[in-house]
Amino acid sequence: MKKEIKSTISCFRLLIEHTQKGYEPSPEHILKRMLIPLCAHFHKILESGTKNDAWEIVEGFSQECKRLRKHS
Amino acid sequence: MQLMEELDKKSKNGQRGKRYKIMKGKASKKTTRSAVVVEGLAELMNRLTLEEKCELVRIMNWSELDRLREEAESILHRTRLGDPKVYVERTDEGLNFEAPPEKVSKFLEELVRYLSPKKIEIYLMRDGGFEELSFPLKEFMNYLGVSQEIIANHYAMIDFDSYTLISGGGGCLSLTLLGVANEVVREIAEQFLGICGYPYKFSKDEFSAIVWTDKLEVKE
């Protein structure tokens, strides 16, 4: 798997993991440590990725969503 | 209706504005909207006059309102808000950390000792772009020595062979350790706490530990 794809999915996972913690992280933390990097990954995919890359990312996100459903 | 008129009258006299100010003062950056609601509810119940309370119970049951407040307060106390100084938690796939940024480099040094990877690959976000770096173990240690600030403060995905560490920067870390023995996972978590200045030995496989100010709170 390409680094940019793996990293985008991992970034999304990091965001999900923060919803499972025993405390509520600050909005600043979510923004700076997860959302801004996630947006930068999207930008890179749009700029230099392929449609297949985008599809792989959506599939990866979907796998993470399945895991999230198990917990909720 | 009478209660609303009364509240409206107080609002015009500036009393309601004063209440809002008090609530607003309590609502720090670390307070969420739900916390403000709980505080507001508690404050409303404390401040109502006997007449107002009588008026309110015509519309709703007072004990029900009181139970609601207690429940909301207990949820609020269970859910701590904000960003801890130190945090480690066992997850389905590995470990999750929050570390002081200056401790990240030292922790990575210790981590490679446990994982003994042959190759380390870094996918780093810096200056709005991404960089790919690759090192054999020895060179990675040298890189850590000179690039502590970069690793501690920027988003990075670090692959230690088949294990992956995600760093959101600022000490926010998530490590996947699939296939690693529970004992080793525990040791890594203990090592992390030791580096952060809070040595502790976990006795169970499921655990979390948190430091808000200076006291280590452990759940096993």
Using an 8 Å CB-CB cutoff, list residues of chain B that contact chain A.
29-30, 32, 79-84, 87, 89, 91-92, 96, 121, 123, 125, 128, 130, 132, 155, 157, 164, 166, 168-170, 172, 174, 208, 210, 219
User: Each residue of B42-100: pLDDT tens digit?
Assistant: 787 788 888 888 888 777 777 877 787 777 766 666 667 889 999 999 998 999 999 99
Instruction: Categorize the per-residue pLDDT at B9 as very low, low, confident or very high, splitting at 50, 70 and 90.
Output: low
Here the ipTM equals 0.93
Q: What is the pLDDT of residues B27-42, one digit of tens each?
A: 444 445 566 667 777 7
Residue that wins the pLDDT comparison between B185 and B20: B185
Predicted pLDDT at B74: 67
- Tell me the pLDDT of chain B averaged across its residues: 82
Q: What is the 3-state secondary structure (H, E, C) of chain B?
A: CHHHHHHHHHHHCCHHHHHHHHHHHHCCCCCCHHHHHHHHHHHHHHHCCHHHHHHHHHHCCHHHHHHHHHHHHHHHHHCEECCCCEEEEECCCEEEEECCHHHHHHHHHHHHHHHCCCEEEEEEEECCEEEEEEEEHHHHHHHHHHCHHHHHHCCEEEEECCEEEEEEECCEEEEECCCCCHHHHHHHHHHHHHHCCCCCCCCCCCCEEEECCCCEEEEC
> Looking at the partner chain, which of A22, A26, A32 has a beta carbon nearest the beta carbon of B208?
A22
Predicted confidence band of residue A72 (pLDDT cuts 50, 70, 90): low
A44 pLDDT higher than 50: yes
Q: What is the pLDDT of residues B97-142, one digit of tens each?
A: 999 999 999 999 999 999 999 999 999 999 889 999 999 988 998 8
Contact A25 B82 (CB under 8 A): yes
Q: Which has more pLDDT, B179 or B28?
A: B179
Q: Give contacts of A67 with chain B, Cβ < 8 Å.
A: 92
Whether B145 has a pLDDT exceeding 50, the answer reads yes
Q: What is the pTM of this model?
A: 0.74
User: Residue B164 is nearest to which of A10, A24, A40, comparing CB atoms?
Assistant: A10
What residues in B contact A3, CB-CB < 8 Å? 121, 123, 132, 157
